[in-house]
């Protein structure tokens, strides 16, 4: 079986493509097609119990990786494609997800495409950022599955192999369609849109705290708890001709916050700001004043709740500070970059972030009466 398994060093699937060439399929031609790519699994130079100082060891070759998970070729035929990247995932930028998204849209979303899904294997440090960028720029209903590994492949019980198999199984499942991007990790399925890495060390790390899991893997197969649905308010941006995105800076709000950092970021080229506000995304008075002045200059400021769950709710009337709803700071930064790149006005940017939540809170008749009447009475 390994003779059919000559895949690229990035074997672990993602539609990250070989940029120019035709896709070469591995496996039985009657099986569904999954395009795949990503990064090689990490390895340790130290011991089989090392899961803290790994990364410099020699990782498995594609043949070795598929040789350890030959079951994937009973599930799908694979085409492995890769983009050149250097260093770990902490050194990546938006050019990777732009390239992935452009190739995915071209290969999977064409009317005559017979590819059923795609998988991205990615370093977990910034997996959620690359995956989120692809999720909101990928324009068809086919599954895009992100996965990775928290343990090196040299560990006593590496998790990357099972994650790899489960991602392939999810990619070929018709039940995975029309859900937006998904993360397959540690026997669970979560929405990319709402997931974040919550543990720096353990395999049980990608979690959607408030929205929950979409499904689970049983005997390697996905079982979904809910019918297909896209995340509420999930936007879409066309990046067909985009090669670079505008700068957006994330700042951390705290006691004694120095609002001059906001002006310094803009002076250094930032076109927008994201600030983690304590509690329900509450910015300090000096940060609010700076955000108001920058708004007048056409620079948007997005307030994100600093706690790992919950949200800041915008007021009844639009203001100079935009609230991120249930998006975290990394995700808010990406949405803001894409909205600015698309030429959205400040009002349009506010609507992308606030409109679904504002409609839910202030739209119903009783709330409209309570909030707007009170606001009008005090104005």
pTM for the model: 0.91
**End-to-end alpha-carbon separation of the chain, Å?**
74
- Report whether pLDDT(328) > 70: yes
Say yes or no to pLDDT of 84 above 70: no
Q: How far apart are CA 300 and CA 347, in angstroms?
A: 10
Q: Is the pLDDT of residue 10 over 80?
A: no
Provide the pLDDT for residue 96: 82
Q: How high is the pLDDT of residue 112?
A: 94
- Assign 323 a pLDDT band (cuts: 50, 70, 90): very high
pLDDT at 88 (0 to 100)? 56
| Stretch 162-168: mean pLDDT | 95
One-character DSSP codes across 59-92: PPPHHHHHHH-GGGGGT-EEEE------S-GGG-
- By mean pLDDT, which of 22-36, 283-297, 348-362 is the weakest? 22-36
- Tracing tokens 């769950």 back to the chain, one arrives at 309
Query: Is the pLDDT confidence value at 4 over 90?
Result: no
Residue 39 annotated in active site: yes
**What pLDDT shows up at residue 5?**
33
Asked if 2-224 and 248-363 have one fold, the answer is yes
pLDDT of residue 196: 95
Most confident of 29-38, 63-72, 342-351: 342-351
For the domain made up of 2-224, the CATH class stated in words is alpha beta
CB atoms within 10 A of CB 236: 12
- What pLDDT is attached to residue 202? 95
pLDDT at 61: 60
Mean pLDDT of 27-48: 86
Q: How far apart are CA 168 and CA 237, in angstroms?
A: 26
Q: What kind and span of H or E run contains 277?
A: strand 272-277
- Residue 292 pLDDT exceeds 90: yes
Q: Say if CB 53 and CB 43 are below 8 A apart.
A: no
Q: Which of 39, 190, 196, 301 is catalytic?
A: 39
- Interior angle at CA 45, CA 40 and CA 50, nearest 5: 90
Residue 228 has pLDDT above 90, yes or no: yes
Longest dimension (CA), the chain: 76
Average pLDDT, integer, range 154-172: 94
What burial class does residue 195 get, using C-beta atoms within 10 Å of its C-beta: 0-12 exposed, 13-18 middle, 19+ buried? buried
Asked whether residue 148 carries a pLDDT value surpassing 80, the answer given is: yes
The mean pLDDT of 195-199, rounded to a whole number, is 95
CATH number for the segment(s) 248-363: 3.40.50.40
Q: Which long-range contacts (CB under 8 A, 24 or more apart) does 155-163 make?
A: 155/44, 155/48, 155/49, 155/50, 155/51, 155/54, 156/48, 156/49, 158/41, 159/186, 159/203, 160/12, 160/41, 160/121, 161/65, 161/68, 161/69, 162/187, 162/220
For the chain, what is the mean pLDDT? 88
Tens digits of per-residue pLDDT, 332-355? Answer: 999 999 999 999 999 999 999 999
**Spacing of C-alpha 170 from chain mean position:** 17
Structural contact between residues 247 and 270, judged by C-beta atoms closer than 8 angstroms? yes
pLDDT > 70: what percent of the chain? 88
Express each pLDDT in 265-287 by its tens digit: 999 999 999 999 999 999 999 99
> Would you kindly state where each structural domain of the chain is located, as residue ranges?
2-224, 248-363
Q: Is the pLDDT of residue 70 over 70?
A: yes
Q: What is the pLDDT of residues 100-147, one digit of tens each?
A: 899 899 999 999 999 999 999 888 988 999 999 999 999 999 999 999
Burial 332-350 (b: 16+ CB within 10 A, else e): bbbbbbbbbbeebebeebb
103 vs 170, residue with greater confidence: 170
Give the strand pairing for 215-218 and 221-224.
antiparallel
């Amino acid at each position: 079986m390994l003779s059919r398994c000559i895949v690229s060093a990035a074997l672990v699937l993602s539609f990250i493509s070989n940029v120019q060439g035709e896709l070469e399929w591995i496996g039985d031609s009657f099986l569904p097609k999954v395009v795949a790519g990503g990064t090689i699994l990490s390895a340790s130079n130290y011991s089989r119990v090392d899961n803290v100082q790994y990364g410099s060891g020699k990782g498995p070759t594609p043949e070795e990786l598929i040789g350890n998970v030959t079951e994937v070729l009973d599930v799908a035929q694979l085409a492995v494609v890769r983009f050149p990247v250097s260093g770990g995932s902490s050194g990546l930028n938006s050019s990777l997800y732009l390239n992935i998204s452009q190739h995915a849209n071209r290969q999977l979303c064409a009317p005559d495409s017979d590819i059923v899904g795609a998988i991205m294997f990615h370093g977990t440090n910034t997996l959620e950022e690359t995956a989120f960028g692809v999720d909101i720029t990928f324009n068809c209903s086919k599954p895009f599955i992100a996965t990775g590994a928290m343990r090196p492949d040299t560990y006593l019980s590496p998790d990357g192999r099972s994650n790899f198999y489960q991602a392939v199984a999810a990619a070929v499942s018709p039940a995975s369609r029309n859900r937006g991007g998904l993360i397959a990790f540690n026997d669970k399925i979560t929405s990319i849109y709402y997931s974040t890495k919550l543990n720096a060390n353990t395999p049980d790390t990608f979690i959607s705290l408030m929205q929950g899991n979409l499904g689970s893997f049983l005997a390697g197969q996905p079982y979904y708890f809910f019918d297909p649905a896209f995340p509420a308010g999930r936007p879409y941006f066309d990046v067909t001709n985009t090669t670079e995105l505008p700068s957006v800076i994330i700042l951390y709000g705290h006691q004694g916050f120095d609002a001059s950092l906001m002006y310094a970021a803009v002076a250094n080229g930032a076109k927008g700001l994201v600030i983690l506000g304590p509690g329900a995304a509450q910015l300090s008075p000096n940060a609010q004043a700076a955000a108001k002045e920058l708004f007048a200059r056409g620079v948007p400021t997005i307030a994100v709740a600093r706690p790992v769950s919950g949200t800041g709710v915008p007021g009844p009337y639009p203001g100079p500070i935009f609230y991120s709803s249930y998006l975290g700071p990394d995700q808010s930064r990406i949405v803001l970059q894409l909205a600015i790149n698309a030429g959205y006005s400040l009002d349009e940017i506010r609507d992308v972030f606030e409109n679904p939540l504002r409609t839910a809170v202030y739209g119903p008749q009783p709330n409209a009466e309570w909030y707007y009447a009170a606001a009008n009475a005090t104005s």
